[in-house]
Amino acid sequence: MLSSVLAILVSIGAMAQGHHDRHHKKHDSDHVKHHYASSGKRNLSNKVYHVTEADSIQKQKMKPAVDRASKRLESLRLSYQKQERRVLDSLGLQVKPYLKEEQLKKLNDWKDKTGK
C-alpha cells in the first residue's frame, strides 16, 4: 500500500510539473518557481486526500507526511532539472561545430525553455 501511495505521489508530481510548464511558459522563472512550490504542494495534498477519500481528521493526521513528501518531490524535481540542464549544455557544446549560427540560436532558445 505504501509503495502504491509513493508511486501515486511521484506521478502526481510529474503531472503537476507538466501542467505547470505548459500553463506558465510566459512568466518569469522566479515567479514560476514560487508558484509551483506552493501550488505543487496544494495539488499533491488535494490529490492524495481525494484518492484516499480522507475525512477531516485523517487529513489533519496525514498532513505532516504529505508535506514531507511534497518537499522531497520538489527537491527531486530541482535536482533533476539541474542534471537535465547539464546534459543539455553538454549536448550544445558537442553539436556546436556542426550547426550554423541560426541553428545554434534555435537550439539554445529551446534549451532555455526546456531546462527551467
Q: What is the mean pLDDT of the chain?
A: 78
pLDDT digits (tens, 9 = 90+) for 8-27: 655 665 555 554 444 444 44
The most confident of the ranges 6-10, 21-25, 28-32, 48-52 is: 48-52
C-alpha cell at 90: 553538454
Is the whole model's pTM more than 0.85, yes or no?
no
Question: Using CA atoms, how far apart are residues 17 and 89, in angstroms rounded to an integer?
Answer: 21
pLDDT digits (tens, 9 = 90+) for 68-93: 999 999 999 999 999 999 999 999 99
- Could you write out the DSSP letters of every residue in 76-91? HHHHHHHHHHHHHHHH
Question: Using CA atoms, how far apart are residues 101 and 49, in angstroms rounded to an integer?
Answer: 51
C-alpha cell at 38: 506552493
Question: Using CA atoms, how far apart are residues 88 and 67, in angstroms rounded to an integer?
Answer: 31
The C-alpha angle with vertex 83 and arms to 24 and 86, in degrees rounded to 5, equals 95
C-alpha cell at 89: 549544455
Which residue reads 512568466 in cell numbers?
Answer: 27
